[in-house]
Amino acid sequence: MKIDVILGLQWGDEGKGKIVDFLAEQYDIVARFQGGPNAGHTLKFGGKKYILHTVPSGIFREKLINVIGNGVVLDPITFEREIQNLRAAEVAFEDRLLVAKKAHLILPTHRLLDAASEAAKGAAKIGSTLKGIGPTYMDKTGRNGLRVGDILLPNFRDRYEALKKKHLEMLQIYPSVSFDLVAEEERFFNSLNTLKALQLIDSEYFINKALDENKKILAEGAQGSMLDIDFGTYPFVTSSNTVTAGVCVGLGVAPQRIGEVIGVTKAYCTRVGSGPFPTELHDSVGDLLRTEGAEFGSTTGRPRRCGWIDLPQLRYTIMLNGVTQLCITKIDVLNIFQDLHAAVAYRFDDVESAELPYDMAEVRVEPIYQKIAGWNISLDGMTDFEILPDTLKSYILFLEGYLKTKVTMISTGPEREKLILC
Ligand code: GDP
Ligand code: IMO
Ligand code: MG
């Protein structure tokens, strides 16, 4: 059996959580492979809304196993809060939520370093979620990090103190930021008990054995490909590989075991935090997209920057990920427009190109748009592709033609059932 992948093709918040929750029913296991509590995945069903940060989006499906893989960075404090929310929602998760021993731990001082580093950058800040993601991955690659499995070791406290000391020394080079380290440390050590109560596993063995036993596995991406540490709009990116290749290292599966890759994109484009965004709209259309699409961050509540869909960018991320099927979300947000626009090429350095420049953060990229007729009616009650307005069908055909990839799902609302299979 192969492992299927769902990931975001833009700058995150494409609606991955909703799609994973919808499809999870067809799988035995859902596994997160990178990122951490910088993610905010929203699920809506039964009149309720849930936001998950570290816990995989398959947790609400009975019997389904959820794995937090080795590529994830885990903050026991936010994790405990999520666990409490699951308890409050009466979700029986105890036997179904497994955590990789090799996943790295986010310490309170990682969050402090994140805040101090951003403060030092001033106007050039990344716009980090301040969850400690960058400093934790730095300790991982710098070979200083602490891992989930380490909490079981008798000398864990000593290791913690040694790393904390190093962090406090590093903090000397940064401006001071307000942070109650004593209180955060107390919360950190208390929350480790919640983590210890779960099954801590060697997730690479677990996942590979499950594949050998013909179990169906879905890997759930966090962030989006344009935030990938290698291929995103560097340095305005996150600190992990968000592309399909991240599944191999973040779960320990070989490349030939990757099956379907479902790329999720909004019907328009958003970004939260700093960095280049060629199709960003600073006018009333951008404001309309924000209000219609309720574009406020699931993790930080920040207003998301909004703009038209960017097809050269999607072509790039489809290439990087080997996307085999596309899922277009938030199509309903475009109902209000008579006309739509899609960037089909860029102009930069006096040339036209459908490829992204090396340094988007430095090169001013001007999008070249194609105007497309909108459908301009409500899609309420339309559950079948065949009865969708012709203009909407043409829009989907246009996307498929340009992107050379089949659209297999269209999401028409935040609720679980608002999904049209094509
Ligand atoms: P994720 O990080 O990719 O899981 O996405 P987020 O949950 O951060 O952001 C997506 C937002 O859009 C959430 O508030 C979802 O409830 C909402 N959403 C998802 N799909 C749709 C859709 O098709 N239409 C509308 N209007 N909202 C959607
Ligand atoms: P999901 O999984 C949108 C952005 C931050 C910032 C940059 C770096 O919900 O799609 P970090 O905290 O990783 O150091 O922040 O990346 N960012 C996201 N934007 N959705 C996310 O996750 C994001 N995770 C990080 O806003 O610009
Ligand atoms: Mg999100």
The DSSP string of 315-377 is HHHHHHHT--EEEEE-GGGGGG-SEEEEEEEEEETTEEESS--TTTTTS--EEEEEEEE---S
Q: Mean of the pLDDT values across residues 392-421?
A: 97
| pTM over cut 0.95 | yes
Query: Would you say the CB of residue 330 lies under 6 angstroms from ligand 1?
Result: yes
String of DSSP letters for 249-260 = HHHT--GGGEEE
Our answer to whether residue 41 is catalytic in this structure is yes
Q: At what angle do helices 108-121 and 156-170 cross, to 10 degrees?
A: 10
Of the listed 21, 41, 75, 114, which one is catalytic?
A: 41
Q: pLDDT value at position 113?
A: 97
What phi and psi values does residue 29 have, to the nearest 5 degrees? Answer: -140, 135
Residue 22 has pLDDT above 90, yes or no: yes
Identify the band that residue 300 occupies on the pLDDT scale cut at 50, 70 and 90. Answer: confident
Q: Quick: pLDDT tens for 93-148.
A: 999 999 999 999 999 999 999 999 999 999 999 999 999 999 999 999 999 999 99
Q: Quick: pLDDT tens for 355-364.
A: 999 999 888 8
Query: Would you say the CB of residue 221 lies under 6 angstroms from ligand 1?
Result: no
Residue 345 has pLDDT above 90, yes or no: yes
Query: Would you say the CB of residue 270 lies under 6 angstroms from ligand 1?
Result: no
Listed residue (223, 211, 59, 200) closest to 129, CA to CA: 223
Ligand 2 site residues (CB inside 6 A) read 8, 11-13, 38-41, 126-129, 131, 133-134, 222-224, 227, 238, 272-273, 298
Closest C-alpha residue for ligand 2 atom 15:
128
Query: Would you say the CB of residue 68 lies under 6 angstroms from ligand 1?
Result: no
Measured in angstroms, how far is the CA atom of residue 6 from the centroid of ligand 1?
A: 14
Kindly state the tokens that stand for 121.
């950058």
Measured in angstroms, how far is the CA atom of residue 267 from the centroid of ligand 1?
A: 11
Kindly state the tokens that stand for 361.
């953060």
Query: Going along 106-232, which residue ranges are E strands?
Result: 199-201, 217-220
> What distance in Å separates the CA atoms of residue 241 and residue 33, rounded to the nearest whole number?
9
Measured in angstroms, how far is the CA atom of residue 255 from the centroid of ligand 3?
A: 26
Closest C-alpha residue for ligand 1 atom 28:
414
Strands 3-8 and 217-220: parallel
Listed residue (326, 307, 309, 329) closest to 318, CA to CA: 326
Calculate what percentage of the chain has a pLDDT beyond 90. 96
Tokens 């602490």 map to which residue? Answer: 146
Measured in angstroms, how far is the CA atom of residue 288 from the centroid of ligand 1?
A: 16
> What distance in Å separates the CA atoms of residue 81 and residue 27, rounded to the nearest whole number?
26
Atom of ligand 2 nearest to the CA of 129: 12
> What distance in Å separates the CA atoms of residue 130 and residue 4, rounded to the nearest whole number?
30
Identify the band that residue 215 occupies on the pLDDT scale cut at 50, 70 and 90. Answer: very high
Query: Would you say the CB of residue 16 lies under 6 angstroms from ligand 1?
Result: yes
Q: Mean of the pLDDT values across residues 170-183?
A: 95
